[in-house]
Amino acid sequence: MKLLRKIQDWGDRHHPQWLDYFRMLLGVVLIWKGIDFYRHMDVFSQLMHGSMLGTAVSISALAHMIILAHLIGGLAIAIGTHTRFFCILNLPILIGAVFFINMSAGIFNPYSEFWLSSLVLAALLCFVVEGNGVIAVDREAIVS
């Protein structure tokens, strides 16, 4: 816990303001991907049925958890509340997207989502360390 507190304190002290705009963009991208995932849920269902991963109920529950994590997490990250928590919540989804879904589809195919997913994964890792920043709903007053 001491290491996590040190990382959190360092991130709070060394947070440039331009990074807040990048955090807001990350939140909007997560919301957009959640809506896009909902619109194309049939592709996810076909992919999961092909992998023999379980019953239809578990596949449906997983799909809805991904959508909710992207929508609620994207909104929270965009407005700057509980940023670290929602970044950690979205990390397993993006790790699965980058290493299991997009890598098997081919990285150099036209319209490959590998690069976008990799960038979002890197941004999530960045904001686990950096946190909310100056422009945030639950900004703590930093007393010097």
Query: What is the model's pLDDT at position 101?
Result: 76
What is the model's pTM?
0.80
Q: In the chain, which residues have pLDDT < 50?
A: 142-144
The pLDDT of residue 13 is 74
Residue keyed to tokens 């965009």: 78
**What's the confidence (pLDDT) of residue 38?**
92
What pLDDT shows up at residue 43? 79
CB proximity list for 84: less than 8 A, separation 6 or greater: 8, 127, 128, 131
Contact 53, 59 (CB under 8 A): yes
Sequence-separated (6 or more) residues with CB below 8 Å from residue 78 = 23, 24, 26, 27, 28, 31
